[in-house]
């Protein structure tokens, strides 16, 4: 699949997505050991649970992810940073989508009322 270099939305968000990917791939524990496959599964579960958990009280899934994998405070801080990057991208994409819908409505109004 070829990338459309004139697509401003893709040009903006693609580097952000690749940054998150690099953070996940190059993530190191405090002892500088790299993630293993089992670690990545735990990381994905934890980040997914954190993304889905919007309440002050932890959901069962989040509590399970926390209890199942004993991440130390430094790792949790790094994981929260990655989660925040993902959340920023998602919120921005949602705003872009909403703006595109509104733009269609505005342009449709002006094109039908010269």
What is the average pLDDT across 79-106?
A: 86
Rg (Cα) of the chain, in Å, rounded?
Answer: 19
Rounded Cα distance, 5 and 69, in Å: 41
CB 59 within 8 A of CB 52: yes
What is the average pLDDT across 94-104?
A: 81
pTM of structure: 0.69
Using one digit for the tens of pLDDT, what is the confidence trace for 53-72? 766 777 776 777 667 777 77
- Between the CA of residue 39 and those of 7, 42, 95, 98, what are the distances in Å? 35, 5, 33, 36
pLDDT value for 22: 84
Which residues are bridge partners to 34 per DSSP? Answer: 28
Q: How many CB atoms lie within 10 A of CB 93?
A: 15
CB 82 within 8 A of CB 47: yes
Q: Is the pLDDT of residue 110 over 80?
A: no
């Amino acid at each position: 699949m070829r990338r459309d270099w004139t697509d401003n939305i893709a040009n903006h968000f693609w580097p952000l997505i690749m940054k998150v990917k690099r953070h996940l791939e190059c993530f190191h524990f405090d002892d500088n050991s790299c993630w293993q496959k089992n670690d990545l599964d735990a990381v994905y579960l934890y980040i997914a649970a954190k993304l889905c958990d919007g309440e002050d009280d932890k959901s069962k899934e989040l509590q399970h992810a926390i209890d199942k994998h004993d991440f130390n405070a430094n790792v949790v801080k790094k994981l929260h940073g990655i989660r925040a990057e993902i959340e920023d991208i998602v919120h921005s994409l949602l705003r872009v989508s909403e703006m595109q819908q509104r733009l269609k409505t505005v342009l449709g109004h002006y094109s039908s009322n010269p």
